[in-house]
């Protein structure tokens, strides 16, 4: 299997499809690189090199007990980018992965980066605070952690509907979407599942976003029940100078996987990559 070993000895599994200018996909929580297979094929078929890794503690990467913070995730990503000597890279990140992307630029800059795509991403801040009233209350994150600890298998099954919008009238969410979400969730360590909630809930990426100096596309559904657009996507588009915001009407959190929305996102992604 293709593996990148990080500076602290963690093995990061990755897929590497196609050839051409590199596009690195960063998955959300509790998923892994398999969540990007549709997009990997789309970019590889279009003449790009698509790469998607499993975050530490997720999928096929080392199931470590600690290191579930965004400085560590960003440094893992840097180990992958430098280990493969990738340059002129477009980073594409979903949900929690958007924090990884933002912190990567905040810590490592954009010397190797051509552009960035943030899909349903958590920056600048998820947690509801007096300065971020549109955010998610701490009680919601406490409930998520409790669900994982109490019975994570059933929790992932219950969460899949809101993740994809399967609880909305007229949705196109399939049982396959739900099953894939459960399967990937179960491949994440329980410790990673809990620690990642604290990380993506409370980490403030505002200063990281201010360091973006590459073309940036922000895509977000206005019916995202997991990462509310008013607290995240709309604010990110205002903080990142020159960022383009595309709002998908009725779009859920899992845009890249749901039939109808994923085709639209793939088309928007390819259009952005060709600029």
Phi-psi region of 125 (alpha: psi -120 to 50; beta: other; left: phi over 0): beta
Element (H, E) at 192: helix 190-202
Q: What are the CA-CA distances from residue 133 to residues 6, 125, 199 (Å)?
A: 38, 11, 19
Phi-psi region of 120 (alpha: psi -120 to 50; beta: other; left: phi over 0): left
Q: Could you tell me which residues come within 8 angstroms of residue 179 by beta carbon, excluding any fewer than 6 positions away?
A: none
Annotated active-site residue 253? The verdict is yes
Please pick, among 58, 75, 95, 252, the residue that the annotation labels catalytic: 95
Q: Is 26 helix (H, G, I), strand (E, B) or coil?
A: strand
Closest alpha carbon to 14 in 94, 83, 114 = 83
Annotated active-site residue 198? The verdict is no
Closest alpha carbon to 155 in 34, 137, 254, 163 = 163
Annotated active-site residue 95? The verdict is yes
- Write down the residue that tokens 């297979």 correspond to: 37
Please pick, among 54, 161, 208, 224, the residue that the annotation labels catalytic: 224
Provide the CA 274 distance to its chain's centre, in angstroms.
22
β-strand partners of 132: 129
Q: Active-site residues: which are they?
A: 95, 224, 253
């Amino acid at each position: 299997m293709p593996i990148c070993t990080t500076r602290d000895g963690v093995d990061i599994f990755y897929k590497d499809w196609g050839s051409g200018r590199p596009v690195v996909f960063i998955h959300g929580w509790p998923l892994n690189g398999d969540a990007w297979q549709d997009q990997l094929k789309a970019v590889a078929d279009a003449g790009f090199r698509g790469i998607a890794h499993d975050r530490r503690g997720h999928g096929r990467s080392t199931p470590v007990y600690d290191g579930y913070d965004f400085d560590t995730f960003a440094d893992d990503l840097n180990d992958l980018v430098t280990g493969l000597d990738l340059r002129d890279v477009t980073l594409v990140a979903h949900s929690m992965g958007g924090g990884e992307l933002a912190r990567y630029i905040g810590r490592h800059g954009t010397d190797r980066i051509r552009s960035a795509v943030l899909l349903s991403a958590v920056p600048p801040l998820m947690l509801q605070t007096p300065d971020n009233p549109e955010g998610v209350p701490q009680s919601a994150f406490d409930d998520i952690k409790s669900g994982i600890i109490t019975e994570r298998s059933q929790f992932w099954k219950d969460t899949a509907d809101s993740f994809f919008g399967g609880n909305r009238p007229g949705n196109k969410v399939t049982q396959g979407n739900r099953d894939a979400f459960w399967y990937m969730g179960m491949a994440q360590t329980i410790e990673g599942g809990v620690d990642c909630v604290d990380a993506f809930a409370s980490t403030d990426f505002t200063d990281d976003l201010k360091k973006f100096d590459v073309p940036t596309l922000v895509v977000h559904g206005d019916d995202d029940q997991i990462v509310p657009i008013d607290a995240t996507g709309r604010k990110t588009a205002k903080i990142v100078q020159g960022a383009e915001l595309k709002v998908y009407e009725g779009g859920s959190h899992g845009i890249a996987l749901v039939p109808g929305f994923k085709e639209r996102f793939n088309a928007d992604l390819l259009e952005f990559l060709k600029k």
